[in-house]
């Protein structure tokens, strides 16, 4: 059976590939186009936190998380104030303590840890079923009914926030969702409600940045808002009276991580048709050359 | 068909390994990930490094060979097509099985195919779709072999005609090209957690070229094994041609890898044991075989060719393990991952399944042309 690919057929098949290109435009797109200024978040004022752990308890109660089935309760010399040694599937927020020296005096600072709720989250961008999802309101939520359990989000998150239920045969990911159910009801997250010293302030991201700048200008703070630019900006922001380096905050990139994959996936609409045209052309060329050889 | 004693011993040994791995898989599915060494710091371990990254990288032979035979018309390689297609198809099938055991929700493996869940901005989405599509393409490419056995003449001639084969081959080259490189693209999201000796914006290209280098190496190794076991001649002429192709691929790979390291200034960013892994990988896995293959006398020698191929396969395996595990900077110092026996047994099961399926297919299907002639 001889099959000759005519010029017209070649152009037609190439053309149909080019027409399908606009369909691929969604590759590498952001998961939400909502305005970051209008997203909800909260500001953590490290200078005000006394490390009472009420936010942590409120989180456990609100999300019905077990207290005992966690990682070992570590009380060692290095971190006397630490309770849960890390975030885990059953501890979505925790207070970490850090002893350091400021003006010749030994002091302790307490750092609340939880999901940072990135404006453009790496976890949601890598999720291939949309289980992790950036809501237009701000919180990054987890839709367990979609999750396949590839654990790519655990790999991708710059802060290592998503955790798995390692004790279950078919585990789900667990992480802070900023009490999304309360936010859509117009209420504040449980941890913010529980804070009695005003270390946590809930609001829209733009207002939080204004508030942070106001407090910094009044003095006593390091002139830096952690989360304003980290990972392209997060909805949870931190201000502190001691440098963030000394508090062992993770140094992350100051651009949104999904851009890195977008730069790669965005080339597909060029790569795929070029491969197609190149392979077809190469095939036709080597066939014609062979036919010529046979004739000679 | 007679069943020899050595055949019985070989298949029984494989079945034992499979049974042991099946028990490991049973433990994973009933007890969870407690039986593995995976934890919140190491979400991906041996199963991803070996079953997926390595398994797919070493299965680039089929589409590379299809490119040679069908696209640039090097018909002399045709005798190698069927055994290569078989091993690559089996590698992909076992990768899929391994992934189903590895994911947290095995029953939901189909979720990414469900249109409402589509997430085209995820590299993993592309990898998933390309691997699924490529398994189907390989099954279609394999179907004429079964048709020949069953003497479905009409089906066989239709499938082998250019009208069907050429479009199939073109799609069957584009799809693996995309996912071979996208497997490297998976790591782009973690620039600050993958060591600069391995992290690079061109990881997709490096993954692709190293898979291309592994393709002739795997074909040479497999030809050596099958020629010894099945007592058939070694196609040394063809293998030498493959060796020459491998020489150029290695040259390109090393050049790009070094230029990238210099351009990013990462070549001096060593300073810990990771640098040792890096140098072993590069020198033993890529530079040494290149030096061996540079000499035309060595390329014509079956033994040197085999040695160079083993080195390249070692280099590619080590590269995939390094990118995923050695380069992984996220865990606190001291948290080192080493797979448990359960993880090793499941990986062993997948390899044994592949070997068993290959053994049976060679025995009952027309895979090797000259063996086919014997029975005709």
User: What's the pLDDT tens digit per position in B223-252?
Assistant: 999 888 887 778 889 999 999 999 999 999
| H or E segment to which residue A163 belongs | strand A163-164
Token pair for A227: 């989360």
| Cβ contact, residue pair A148, B108, below 8 Å | yes
Q: Is A283 close to B170, i.e. CB distance below 8 A?
A: yes
User: Average pLDDT in the B247-270 region?
Assistant: 90
The whole-number average pLDDT for the span A83-104 is 87
In chain A, residues with a C-beta closer than 8 Å to the C-beta of B108 are 147-149
Neighbour-count burial of A66, counting CB atoms closer than 10 A to its CB (0-12 exposed, 13-18 middle, 19+ buried): exposed
pLDDT of residue A11: 57
In a domain, B320, yes or no: yes
Spell out which residues of chain A touch residue B72, defining contact as CB-CB under 8 Å: 282-283, 286
- B8's tokens: 């019985």
Per-residue pLDDT band for B338 (boundaries 50, 70, 90) equals very high
Task: Give the burial string for B125-137 (b: 16+ CB within 10 Å, else e).
Answer: bbbbbbbbbbbeb
Residue B266 token pair:
């990462």
3-class DSSP state of A31: coil
The residue-averaged pLDDT of A225-246 equals 96
pLDDT grade, residue A8 (50/70/90)? low
pLDDT at B163: 85
**What is the b/e burial string over A106-118, where b = at least 16 CB atoms within 10 angstroms of the residue's CB?**
eeebbbbbbbbbb
Chain A residues touching residue B128 (CB < 8 angstroms): 128
pLDDT greater than 50 at residue B102: yes
Chain B within 8 Å of A263 (Cβ-Cβ)? Answer: yes
Q: Alpha-carbon distance B324 to B199, whole Å?
A: 10
pLDDT at A225: 97
The confidence band for B151, taking pLDDT boundaries of 50, 70 and 90, is confident
The structure tokens 């998976």 sit at: B186
Is the pLDDT at A75 greater than 80? The verdict is: no
- Spatial CB neighbours of B151, under 8 Å, sequence gap ≥ 6: none
Q: Between A and B, how many CB-CB pairs are < 8 A?
A: 175
Chain B stretch 257-296, residues whose beta carbon is closer than 8 A to a beta carbon of chain A = none
Cβ-contact B299, B243 below 8 angstroms? yes
| Residue carrying structure tokens 């390595």 | B54
Q: Which of B90, B106, B98, B113 is nearest to B32 (CA)?
A: B106
DSSP assignment, residue A246? T
Report the pLDDT averaged over residues B320-328: 95
Residue range B129-153: mean pLDDT, rounded? 92
Task: Note whether B122 contacts A126, CB cutoff 8 Å.
Answer: yes
- This complex has an ipTM of 0.91
A82 pLDDT exceeds 80? Answer: no
B chain contacts of residue A253, beta-carbon cutoff 8 Å: 191-192
Spatial separation of the C-alpha atoms in residues A75 and A250, rounded to whole Å: 23
B120 touches chain A (CB under 8 A): yes
Do residues A210 and A204 make contact, with C-beta atoms less than 8 angstroms apart? no
Judge whether A57 is closer than 8 Å to chain B, CB to CB: no
Angle at A130 between CA A129 and CA A132, to 5 degrees: 125
- In a domain, residue B2? The reply is no
**Distant-in-sequence, close-in-space partners of A26: CB < 8 Å, separation ≥ 6:** B120, B121
CA distances from A168 to A172, B28, B33 (A): 8, 10, 7
B117: contact with A, CB 8 A cutoff? yes
How confident is residue B341, by pLDDT bands cut at 50, 70 and 90?
very high
Provide the percentage of residues in chain A whose pLDDT is more than 90.
69
Mean pLDDT of A104-114: 93
pLDDT, position A83: 66
Residue B313 corresponds to which tokens in the numbers above?
């396969």
Please tell me the predicted confidence (pLDDT) of residue A19: 53
Residue A220: other Cβ atoms inside 10 A: 8
The mean per-residue pLDDT over the stretch B294-310 comes to 92
B126: confidence class by pLDDT, cuts 50, 70, 90: very high
- Which residue, chain included where needed, has tokens 């990930």? B33
- The total domain count for chain B is 1
User: What pLDDT, on a 0 to 100 scale, did the predictor assign at position B20?
Assistant: 97
Mean pLDDT of chain B: 91
What integer pLDDT is reported at residue A134 of this predicted model? 95
Q: 170-189 in A: which are within 8 Å (CB) of B?
A: 170-172
Interface residue B75 vs chain A (CB under 8 A): no
Band (pLDDT 50/70/90 cuts) for residue B152 is: confident
Could you tell me the pTM of the whole model? 0.90
- Is 80 exceeded by the pLDDT of residue A48? yes
B324: domain CATH number is: 1.20.1630.10
A13 vs A182, more confident: A182
pLDDT digits (tens, 9 = 90+) for A198-209: 999 999 999 999
The pLDDT, as a whole number, for residue A294 is 85
Please give the Cα distance from B272 to B185 (Å, whole number): 26
Task: Tell me the pLDDT of chain A averaged across its residues.
Answer: 86
- Of B33, B70, B192, which has the smallest distance from its Cβ to A166's Cβ? B33
Nearest to B112 among A2, A148, A286 (CB): A148
Euclidean distance between CA atoms A128 and A37, whole angstroms = 27
pLDDT higher than threshold 70 for residue A250: yes
Residue B52 has pLDDT above 70, yes or no: yes
Taking only residues 98 to 157 of chain A, the set having a beta carbon closer than 8 angstroms to any beta carbon of chain B reads 122, 125-130, 146-152, 154-156
Q: What is the least distance, in Å, from the CA of A84 to any CA of chain B?
A: 15
In a domain, B5, yes or no: no
Cβ(B144)–Cβ(B82) below 8 Å = no
Residue B4 lies in a domain: no
Nearest to B240 by CA among B219, B226, B257, B261: B219
3-state SS class at A22: helix
Q: Residue A140: what pLDDT?
A: 96
Cα(A274)–Cα(B145) distance, integer angstroms:
31
Nearest CA in chain A to B114: A129
Can you point out the beta strands (E) in chain B? Answer: none
pLDDT(B96) > 60: yes
Please give the average per-residue pLDDT across B252-258, as a whole number: 96
Q: Determine the pLDDT at residue B233.
A: 77
pLDDT confidence of residue A114: 97
Which three-class secondary structure state does DSSP give residue B366?
Answer: coil
Residue A255, chain B, CB below 8 Å: the answer is no
Option in B39, B166, B174 nearest A276 (CB): B174
Q: Would you say residue A9 has pLDDT above 80?
A: no
Alpha-carbon distance of A118 to B162, in angstroms, equals 52
Domain that holds residue B36: 10-375
> A220 to chain B, minimum CA–CA distance in Å?
31
Burial class of residue B301 in the structure, from the number of CB atoms within 10 Å of its CB (0-12 exposed, 13-18 middle, 19+ buried): middle
DSSP labels, A131-147: -EEE-TTS-EEE-TTT-
Give yes or no for a contact between A268 and A24, defined as CB atoms under 8 angstroms apart. yes
| pLDDT score of B2 | 60
Asked whether residue B221 is domain-assigned, the answer is: yes
Q: What confidence category does residue A27 fall into, taking pLDDT thresholds of 50, 70 and 90?
A: very low
Tell me the per-residue pLDDT of B177-200, one tens digit each, with 9 for 90 and over. Answer: 999 999 999 999 999 999 999 999
Note the pLDDT of residue B335: 83
Output phi, psi for A113, to 5 deg. Answer: -115, 140
Residue B106 has pLDDT above 80, yes or no: yes
pLDDT band per the 50, 70, 90 thresholds, residue A15 = low
Going by C-alpha positions, the residue among B233, B218, B200, B194 that lies closest to residue B326 is B194
Tell me which chain B residue has its CA closest to the CA of residue A252: B192
Secondary structure (3-state) at A64: coil
**B289: which 2 tokens?**
């075989």
Closest CA to B180 of B242, B122, B247, B131: B131
Mutate to test the interface with A, among B43, B67, B110, B153 (most CBs of A within 10 A): B43
Q: What is the pLDDT of residues A128-142, one digit of tens each?
A: 999 999 999 999 999
> Could you tell me which chain B residue has the CA closest to the CA of A2?
B162
Q: How far is A91 from chain B (nearest CA, A)?
A: 13
At residue A24, the pLDDT reads: 46
């Amino acid at each position: 059976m001889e099959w000759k690919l005519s010029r017209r057929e070649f152009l037609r098949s190439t053309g149909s590939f080019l027409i399908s290109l606009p369909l691929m435009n969604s590759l590498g797109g952001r998961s939400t186009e909502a305005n970051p200024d209008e997203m909800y978040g909260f500001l953590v004022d490290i200078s005000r936190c006394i490390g009472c752990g009420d936010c942590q308890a409120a989180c456990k109660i609100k999300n019905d998380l077990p207290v005992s089935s966690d990682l070992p309760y570590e009380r060692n010399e290095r971190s006397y104030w630490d309770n849960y040694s890390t975030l885990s599937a059953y501890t979505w927020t925790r207070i970490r303590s850090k002893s350091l020296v400021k003006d010749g005096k030994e002091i302790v600072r307490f750092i609340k840890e939880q999901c940072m709720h990135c404006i453009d989250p790496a976890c949601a961008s890598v999720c291939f079923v949309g289980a992790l999802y950036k809501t237009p309101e701000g919180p990054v939520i987890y839709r367990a009914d979609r999750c396949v359990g590839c654990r790519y989000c655990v790999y991708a998150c710059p802060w290592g926030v998503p955790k798995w239920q390692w004790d279950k045969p078919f585990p789900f990911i667990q992480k802070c969702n900023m009490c999304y159910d309360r936010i859509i009801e117009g209420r504040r997250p449980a941890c913010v409600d529980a804070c009695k010293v005003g270390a946590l302030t809930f609001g829209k991201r733009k207002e939080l940045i204004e508030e942070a700048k106001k407090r910094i200008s009044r003095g006593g703070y390091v002139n830096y808002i952690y989360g304003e630019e980290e990972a392209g900006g997060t909805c949870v922001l931190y201000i502190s009276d001691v440098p963030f380096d000394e508090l062992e905050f993770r140094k992350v990139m100051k651009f949104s991580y999904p851009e890195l994959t977008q730069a790669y996936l965005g080339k597909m609409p060029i790569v795929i048709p070029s491969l197609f045209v190149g392979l077809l052309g190469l095939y036709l060329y080597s066939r014609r050359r062979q036919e010529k050889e046979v004739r000679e | 068909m007679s069943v020899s004693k050595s055949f019985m011993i070989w298949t029984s040994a494989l079945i034992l390994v499979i049974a042991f791995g099946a028990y490991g898989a049973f433990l994973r599915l009933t007890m969870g990930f407690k039986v593995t060494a995976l934890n919140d710091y190491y979400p991906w371990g041996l199963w991803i490094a070996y079953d997926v990254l390595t398994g797919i990288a070493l299965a680039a032979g089929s589409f590379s060979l299809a490119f040679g035979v069908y696209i640039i018309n090097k018909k002399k390689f045709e005798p190698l097509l069927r055994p290569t297609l078989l091993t690559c198809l089996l590698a992909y099938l076992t990768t899929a099985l391994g992934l189903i055991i590895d994911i947290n929700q095995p029953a939901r493996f189909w979720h990414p195919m469900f249109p409402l869940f589509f997430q085209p901005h995820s590299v993993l989405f592309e990898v998933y779709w390309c691997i699924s599509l490529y398994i189907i393409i390989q099954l279609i490419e394999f179907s004429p072999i079964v048709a020949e056995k069953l003497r479905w003449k009409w089906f066989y001639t239709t499938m082998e005609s250019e009208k069907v084969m050429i479009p199939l081959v073109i799609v069957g080259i584009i799809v693996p090209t995309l996912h071979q490189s996208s497997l490297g693209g998976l790591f782009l999201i973690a620039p600050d957690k993958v060591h600069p000796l391995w992290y690079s914006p061109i990881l997709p290209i490096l993954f692709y070229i190293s898979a291309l280098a592994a393709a002739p190496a795997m074909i040479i190794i497999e030809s050596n094994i099958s020629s010894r076991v099945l007592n058939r001649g070694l196609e040394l002429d063809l293998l030498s041609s493959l060796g020459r192709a491998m020489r150029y691929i290695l040259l390109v790979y090393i050049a790009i890898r070094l230029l990238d390291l210099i351009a990013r200034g990462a070549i001096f960013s060593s300073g810990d044991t990771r640098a040792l892994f890096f140098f072993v990988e590069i020198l033993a896995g890529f530079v040494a075989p290149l030096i061996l293959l540079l000499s035309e006398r060595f390329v014509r020698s079956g033994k040197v060719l085999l040695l160079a191929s083993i080195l390249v396969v070692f280099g590619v395996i080590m590269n995939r393990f390094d990118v995923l595990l050695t380069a992984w900077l996220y865990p606190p110092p001291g948290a080192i991952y080493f797979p448990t026996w359960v993880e090793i047994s499941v990986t062993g099961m997948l390899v044994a399944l592949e070997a068993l399926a290959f053994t049976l297919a060679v025995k009952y299907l027309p895979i090797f042309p000259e063996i086919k002639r014997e029975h005709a």
